[in-house]
Amino acid sequence: MYGTATIAAGLTGTTVDVSTMDDSWDEDTETFLLRLSNPVNATSGTMTGIGTISDNDGIPTVSITSPTAVVEGNPTTFVVTLSAVSGLPVTVNYTSS
């Protein structure tokens, strides 16, 4: 995203809107930068702004499903599932008993 911000004569500021996407993934808080460059009729002050995006999705639930019976001597596979996709890697320990 890029553009030119114009502060009209007689004013001291303007705004730059940056849209963010509402996804359905559980995520950490994200940050991004908006940098100013090449001012005309002004000198450079603080030229980098930091945008912060807070996640609004809940943490998913991890579950295990029980496989159908297999004849002894054959492998069996358990499936581990999440209730929703996540933007973060999910790990869970397992142990047999």
Q: Which of 20, 63 has the CB closer to Ca ion?
A: 20
SS3 sequence of the chain:
CCCCCCCCCCCCCCCCCCCCCCCCCECCCEEEEEECCCCCCCCCCCCEEEEEECCCCCCCCEEEECCCCCCCCCCCCCEEEECCCECCCCCCCCCCC
Taking CB under 5 A as the criterion, the residue among 36, 53, 55, 82 binding Ca ion is 55
Q: Which of 52, 77 has the CB closer to Ca ion?
A: 52
Q: Which of 25, 78 has the CB closer to Ca ion?
A: 25
Q: CB nearest Ca ion: which residue?
A: 57
User: Least Å distance between CB 30 and Ca ion?
Assistant: 9
Q: Does 17 bind Ca ion (CB under 5 A)?
A: no
**Chain residues that interact with Ca ion, rule: CB under 5 A:** 22-23, 25, 27, 55-57
